[in-house]
A and B are shown apart, each in its own frame.
Chain A
Amino acid sequence: MLTLVARRVIRLVVVLAGVSLVTFAILHVSGDPVALMMPEAPEADRASLRQSMGFNDPLAVQFARFVTNLARGNFGRSFFHREPALPLVLERMPVTLLLTVLAMGLSLAVAIPIGILSAIRRNSLLDHAATFVVFLGTSMPVFWTGIMLILLFAVRLRLLPVSGWETTAALVLPAVTLASASMPLLLRIVRSSMLEVINLDYVRTARAKGVSEWLVICHHALVNALPLVTVAGLQFGLLLGGAVITETVFAVPGVGRLIVGAIRQLDFPIVQAGVFLLALIVVLVNFAVDMLYIYLNPQIRVR
Chain B
Amino acid sequence: MEWKRDQLIRLEAFDQHWRGKPPFRQVIFRAIPEVATQVAEIKTGGVDIIRNVSADLVPELRTNPQTYVSSTPILRVHSVELDMRVAPFDKKAVRQAANYAIDKQTVVQKLMASLGRPVATTVQPQAFGYDPEVKAYPYDPKKAKDLLAQAGYASGVDVTLHSATVEFRPVFEAICQMLTEVGIRATPKMWDPGPAWNKFFQGEGKAANGIYFTWGNYSVFDADAVLHPLYHTETGGWIGKWYTRVDGLDRPIDEARSTLDQAKRKRIYSQIQQTIREEAPSIFLWTQYDTLALSKRVEYAARPDEWLWLFDAKPKR
Binding site for B on A (CB under 8 A): 30-32, 35-36, 39-43, 91-92, 143, 147, 150-151, 154-155, 158, 161-166, 248-251, 253, 257-258, 261, 263-266
Contact = CB atoms under 8 A, between A and B. Distances in A.
B32 interface: yes
Interface in B236-253: 236-239
Interface residues of B, number: 31
B152 interface: no
7 contacts: A30-B195, A35-B198, A42-B237, A147-B40, A163-B37, A164-B30, A263-B194
A250 B236 contact: no
Contacts of B43: 155
A257 to B, nearest CB: 6
Given A31-B195, A164-B30, A264-B192, 13 more contacts: A30-B194, A40-B235, A147-B36, A147-B40, A150-B36, A150-B37, A163-B46, A248-B33, A248-B34, A249-B36, A253-B6, A258-B6, A264-B193
A40 B229 contact: yes
B236 A43 contact: yes
Interface in B196-249: 197-198, 201-202, 229, 235-239
B41 A39 contact: no
Contact of A257 (B33, B40, B46, B235): B33
Contacts of A257: 6, 33
Contacts of B46: 161-164
B193 A251 contact: no
Given A42-B237, A248-B33, A162 B193 contact: no
Contact of A265 (B37, B194, B239): B194
B305 to A, nearest CB: 20
B7 interface: yes
A156 to B, nearest CB: 9
B27 interface: no
B4 interface: yes
Contacts of B317: none
A251 B31 CA distance: 7
Contacts of A165: 7
A257 B32 CA distance: 11
B236 A42 contact: yes
B40 A31 contact: no
A158 B40 contact: no
Nearest to A91: B5
A34 B34 CA distance: 28
A147 B34 CA distance: 10
Interface in B33-57: 33-34, 36-37, 40-41, 43-44, 46
A161 B44 CA distance: 9
B40 A154 contact: yes
Nearest to B198: A31
Nearest to B33: A248
A162 B41 contact: yes
A35 B40 contact: no
Contacts of A91: 5
Contact of A36 (B44, B194, B236, B237): B194
Nearest to B5: A253
B207 to A, nearest CB: 15
Contacts of B4: 253
Contacts of A266: 194
B216 to A, nearest CB: 13
Most buried by A among B4, B194, B195, B238: B194
Contacts of B8: 166
A251 B197 contact: no
Contacts of B31: 251, 253
Given A36-B197, A158-B44, A249 B37 contact: yes
Interface string B101-127: 000000000000000000000000000
B37 A39 contact: no
A91 B221 CA distance: 42
Contacts of A42: 236-237
A208 to B, nearest CB: 57
B56 to A, nearest CB: 15
A91 B239 CA distance: 39
A165 B31 CA distance: 11
Given A35-B197, A41-B237, A154 B44 contact: yes
